[in-house]
Amino acid sequence: LLLIVVVVVLALTLSQKADNLKRTFIARCEKFQGYDCQKIWVAFEQAHVGRDPCNVPMEAYDPLFAEAPFKPACNRMMFWSKTKDVVHDFTENRDCFLTLEDTLLGSVLDGLTWCGKKGSSETFSSGCPGWKDCEKNPVRSFWNGASTAFADVACGDVTAMLNGSITTPFSPTSTFASIEVKRFNSMRVESLNVVLVTRKNAVTNCTNASLRNLQEELDDGIKYNCTEVAESQVLDCSSDPEKPCGACW
Ligand code: N1C
């Protein structure tokens, strides 16, 4: 009897997790005005439900991206790599810049894990492949597709916050390097402005070798700038709404 109870409780908690995912999805979605969140959920589901969780291509999310498109915000678009916490601390407090996580789909799925299973019509939120377990897992394909679409609409002066505390701030395996930079189009993008976030024990500056690779990757015609900025200065600017965005660094 005890075994049956344990099994039932376990089954309930597992299935509840997927319900939680839907609740989180809808609740986060409803913070945005003018969208049909049920319809967006259905478009999200169709990308992974019933599929082998290691065989979800990026294109599976095209109907989802069509339902809630990424709108260009010229001169305000912010990209990042290995600086997730500081960049979002900044964008949450100030309206200067917009990251992918500030868009509907980016904010709805940030930090979540999901997958389907062959022969099942459910969404699971545990027992899913990790980022590196297989290339075409649903989470990775979503971020690859979303990063592609977000970088495709980049325009004007674009900013990227990179991490000055690591030896390779522009890492070839990052989403920023492998996808976003390659999508910046000189017809739309005027310049790329790197904000290299440093700490007291900074190991990197703007002369870093990986940043030379970044400049070479850029489409001809896109201007490049790099500024070393102390993390404390970024955080100060986050907490000082009076300070004009242009005076942050
Ligand atoms: O691989 P990264 O950084 O270079 O990816 C960051 C880059 C940003 O400019 C975003 O536009 O790619 C986009 N992006 C996200 O917005 C995002 N939100 C959450 C990429 N990945 C994102 N995640 C998760 O962070 C994702 O699950 C993956 O595992 C990390 C990648 O972070 P990174 O290596 O610091």
Query: What is the per-residue pLDDT across 36-95, written as a single tens digit (0 to 9) for each?
Result: 999 999 999 999 999 999 999 999 999 999 999 999 999 999 999 999 999 999 999 999
For residue 3, what pLDDT band results from cuts at 50, 70 and 90?
A: confident
Q: Is the pTM of this model over 0.90?
A: yes
Q: Is 176 in the pocket of ligand 1 (CB under 6 A)?
A: yes
What are the beta bridge partners of residue 163?
197
Top mutation candidate among 143, 148, 165 for ligand 1, by most atoms within 8 Å of CB: 143
- Ligand 1 atom at minimum distance from 150 CA: 11
For residue 19, what pLDDT band results from cuts at 50, 70 and 90?
A: confident
